[in-house]
Structure 1
């Protein structure tokens, strides 16, 4: 089966009932902690992740929808706006860092044009735009415009018809909402009426565009030796914990599901336990506990996210060498949508280092996903 066929047959499975894997749903369907904004746009504002040093200058991470386009700005004001092609087979994405020196970068592409000849290019209201072509995989293509022309940005924000083409093949792209998404980013970054604005340019000096706020800093604890660990065996205290009993009922693989339990040493007197807690076709849930070295008194780990906090993670793995834990909840099996995050152990708790989210399953490569949280170490 080709990727194109896989995309079309998977279109009905776009939602995932896990915080790190939501995909294909409107922001207005988010939990009540994500307030809706009146009008055609919907906004989700993120809270400050616990255990991350947060300054008053850091704005919340926010995602808004504008008709067929979505825009995200993270806590350092790095912003991305994107729209999708017909049948979610492709995308157009505009990214813009904060500050007066930043310039936008445009990427376009997707699957579905593999039967055409030549390079992929864009057509907006009859004007042709050819960028740097790269292969996303054996069928997908990405066009990069690292220094997009003012005309391209103008047409993206004001055009009436756009298509991605290769030879006789084409995919239509909706520009409905692009102008509003660009305007929102210009307002968020303070670049309205300057030559650096995405859509509302003017004569205000670019030097007046404020620099982006510094990312909060996380202090990562030093690594410790992973010695003297009893693998694949939950302690009696953990087995008696109500959450573990719940997970055991959902993921029973024998009496204790030991082959799927992992334990790591956080300190000489502190252990981290990873317990399986549900699974699907391509998503495997884990819940985490911290105990003393003897496995008593288990405390569930709560992981801060850009939108709040979570206890259950998806497709997660702790690396004791780097003291970081990574999770990736997929919106569908090919991994072109969902949410991923990395946390660092500070010696006291897990702090969020970075998070990316792609709410629409539109073939956007993971390295282009909008960042919803970033920190430094």
Structure 2
């Protein structure tokens, strides 16, 4: 069996962590901020805890007086209808998993995070423990990126600086997707001739044709097509390369470098799909429920443009890799 090149997976996951140098891990907490100064944080059970997987997620947009969103969730196939949260001597009942806490509940939770050691969730006889180790550093990082330190709305170090001094949100880039002309039967017949014309054969060295690699072709303009070929395969994910080629000889197929959040590029996409002009990629670190990073691009008149990116620096066994933290966003315009 041919496996995905180790360097390809590592490079994609490393790029996820490097996005704008805005993804950080502090003990049992992780934080990421995107290109608009929107920040998110997650916390899980400690690694040496007997607790089943549990997650606390916080989200805050940039700008003065921006509210904080908080959600709690647990790894439980029985889907408990209500959770009870214990914050020292305070008990919050009737919480729905994966739904926002009320503003009052959010303030109570944040107050406990500053002084407590853990959060305890319960559902009948079941209990889960969210670690608060690293919480101060994580919340301070969110405040620092958003310019809140020393203001009344700071999460950690409140002060008397005017709330108006908080940094405003940065505008998300506007992206206009191209309208694809549609792929015909004649285009599909071009797939193998174009792949055979590719001069750099690293993809074939990693995964020869007799391994039945997944392939696809999509027309992106009147004169060009996009070809995707699987270059490596593991137990739970596959990686592919993309080439832009002329739809008539000479094909001049060129391997594409895709833009990443921090200005880097990658020529490898994981578990990829390209539908209706949208290319998506999701790279997993090790296993089905382990951490990963996902990206999306749209095809424009200038090639692929990044529209979304998120990463899960921590996941601690949560289903589907836990909560991904947003590291890049763009606005699609008509």
Distance 1:180 1:282, change over 3 A: same
Contact 2:187 2:217 in 1 (8 A): yes
Distance 1:221 1:20, change over 3 A: farther
Output the TM-score relative to the length of structure 1: 0.75
Shift of 1:251: 3.0
Pick aligned residue for 1:182 from 128, 139, 149: 139
SS in 1 for 2:108: helix
The gaps in structure 2 that reach 5 residues or longer are 1-5
Report the Cα distance in structure 2 between the residues aligned to 1:205 and 1:273, rounded to whole angstroms.
Answer: 54
Note if 1:354 corresponds to 2:311. Answer: no
Q: Which residues in structure 2 correspond to 1:159-308 (within 5 Å)?
A: 159-227=116-184, 228-231=186-189, 233-235=191-193, 238-243=195-200, 245-254=201-210, 257=212, 260-294=214-248, 296-307=251-262, 308=264
SS in 1 for 2:331: coil
Deviation by residue 1:80-135 (Cα, 9 ceiling, x = unmatched): 111111457111111111111311111112215959x873222233432336314x
Output the TM-score relative to the length of structure 2: 0.84
Greater share of helix residues, 1 or 2? 2
Contact 1:328 1:339 in 2 (8 A): yes
Shift of 1:45: 4.5
Deviation by residue 1:109-162 (Cα, 9 ceiling, x = unmatched): 2215959x873222233432336314xxxxxxx353142442310211321232
Contact 2:56 2:73 in 1 (8 A): yes
Deviation by residue 1:22-68 (Cα, 9 ceiling, x = unmatched): 3xxxxxxx47xx9xxxxxxxxx543xxxxxxxxxxxxx351112222
SS in 2 for 1:267: coil
Report the Cα distance in structure 2 between the residues aligned to 1:66 and 1:272, rounded to whole angstroms.
Answer: 41
Pick aligned residue for 2:39 from 79, 87, 105: 79
Contact 1:194 1:206 in 2 (8 A): yes
SS in 1 for 2:96: strand
SS in 2 for 1:199: coil
Q: Which residues in structure 2 correspond to 1:64-75 (within 5 Å)?
A: 64-75=24-35
Contact 1:162 1:175 in 2 (8 A): yes
* Map of 2:9 onto structure 1: 18
Distance 1:367 1:344, change over 3 A: farther
Contact 1:120 1:143 in 2 (8 A): no
Note if 1:121 corresponds to 2:84. Answer: yes
Q: Which moved more, 1:287-296 or 1:193-202?
A: 193-202
SS in 2 for 1:356: strand
SS in 2 for 1:288: strand
SS in 2 for 1:254: helix
Contact 2:64 2:163 in 1 (8 A): yes
Shift of 1:287: 0.3
Count of matched residue pairs: 318
Note if 1:102 corresponds to 2:66. Answer: yes
Shift of 1:360: 1.8
Distance 1:120 1:262, change over 3 A: same
SS in 1 for 2:188: coil
Distance 1:200 1:368, change over 3 A: same
Contact 2:75 2:319 in 1 (8 A): no
Shift of 1:339: 1.0
